Amino acid sequence: MWAELAVTAAKLLVVATVLLTCVPIMVWVERRGAAFIQDRLGPNRVGPMGLLQPVIDAVKLFFKEDLTPGGVNPILYTLAPMVSMFVALVTFIVIPFSADAGVEVFGVPLKGIHVAPDLGVGVLYLLAISSLGVYGIVLAGWSSNNKYSLLGGLRSSAQLLSYELSLTMSVLGVVLVSGTLNLQEVIGRQGPEIWKWHAVTQPIGFIVFLVAAFAETNRLPFDLAEAETELVAGYHVEYSSMRFASFFMSEYINIVTISALTVTLFLGGWQVPWLTATLSGWPLLLVSAGAFAAKVALLLWLFVWVRWSLPRFRYDQLMQLGWKGLLPLAALNLLIVGMAMGQGWL
């Protein structure tokens, strides 16, 4: 038992470290990517190609004054960034980053690089925990005692609730075909060939999921909660130093999580067509983890690309798209999937 606990603890440590390391890399990619798209140079002074820029940004945030403005609700004001970070960090444990390669380390079965991918209700767990993320934003917006924060918080709670519906509905199609909520099995049912991946068999569901994912992570074109041009910075306008950084980091971690979930549900997870089926042991572990990372990286670039290509939606357009566009489409996808399954095509 102690050996298993130690292995789980080590995996948690590795996964959390990789996750938190993704944040500065993602920030660098975002800033350089933005510059590339806008035909500028971007940060290029600190380190080779500006790679150390996020590091000194982090140091700067550490040494800034941690300000608590007057008139805020001190309990909730402190709680809000913690809730955001908590939600961002615990969703990750069910995502299978690699195959169950059956390898051992010092005689202890390691299986793969993941913490608890065999949770029977993996998909539900992920959706449930990430639905708690809205509390961080709403509490920050309300407790700051600032009208811009409050507006950002209210907008965001309405937006997250609306798009959560479409997100869940589009996942239902995948669950229906897979017949399981276990994420590792969802990957297994997708088969090694590309045309058996859910992104190919359920294109409508895939698109709905992707759009809802942008809205759920508060990214442009759906970043109404922040909307610098009208709300200064939205819900986190009063926060400084590491409390601001908590919101910032949890936003980027959420992007990584939702990308990993997209890869797992729709893009065949860690599978490489025709290659991973022939491997076993350590090569399988390494190749599958590498494939997963590569797919996630592609999606992360998509997030950056879209952010600097599309303008922000107006609030009524956002709600229209969510309720009148995505939700019916998700229902249509479910209908098509059900009929296709009835015909025995899926």
Partner 1 sequence: MELAVFFAAAVVAVATGVVAVAHRNPVINVMSLVVTFFCVAVCYALLAAPFLAAAQILVYAGAILVLFLFVVMLLNAPLAESDQPRKLQRIFGLAAAALVGLGGAALAVVAIPGAGEGVVEGTAAAIGRLLVGPHLLAFELVSVLLLAALVGAMVLVKRKA
Q: Under the criterion CB under 8 A, does residue 25 sit at the interface with partner 1?
A: no
- Position 138 contacts partner 1 (CB under 8 A): yes
Judged by CB, which is closer to partner 1: 159, or 276? Answer: 159
Nearer to partner 1, 77 or 303 (CB): 77
The closest of 205, 165, 212, 207 to 332, measured between CA atoms, is: 205
Asked if 75 interacts with partner 1 (CB under 8 A), we say yes
Q: Does 73 bind partner 1 (CB under 8 A)?
A: yes
| Burial 282-312, CB ≥16 within 10 A → b, else e | eebbebbbebbbebbbebbeebbeebeeeeb
Sequence letter at residue 10:
A
Taken in order 199, 32, 30, 269, the sign of the CA dihedral is: positive
Q: Which is nearer to partner 1, 129 or 296 (CB)?
A: 129
Q: What does DSSP assign to residue 322?
A: I
Residue indicated by tokens 């399954």: 341
Comparison of 135 and 301: residue with beta carbon closer to partner 1: 135
Joined together, the tokens standing for residue 148 give 């811009």
CA angle 214, 90, 74 (to 5 degrees): 90
The verdict on 97 binding partner 1 (CB under 8 A) reads no
Q: Which of 13, 56, 105, 128 binds partner 1 (CB under 8 A)?
A: 128
Q: Which of residues 169-198 bind partner 1 (CB under 8 A)?
A: 181
* For partner 1, the closer CB: 54 or 136: 136
The reply to whether 153 sits near partner 1 by the rule CB under 8 A is yes
CA nearest neighbour of 226 among 311, 139, 141: 141
Nearest residue (CB) to partner 1, 5 versus 59: 5
Counting every residue, how long is the chain?
346
- Window of 21-29, 136-144, 269-277, 300-308 that interacts with partner 1 by CB under 8 A: 136-144
Dihedrals φ, ψ of 106, to 5°?
Answer: 50, 40
Give strand ranges (E) for the chain.
103-105, 108-111
Question: Which part of the chain contacts partner 1 (CB under 8 A), choosing from 23-31, 120-128, 295-303, 304-312?
Answer: 120-128
Residues in contact with partner 1 by CB under 8 A are 73, 75-76, 79, 119-121, 124-125, 127-129, 131-132, 134-135, 138-139, 142-143, 150, 153-154, 157-158, 161, 164, 181
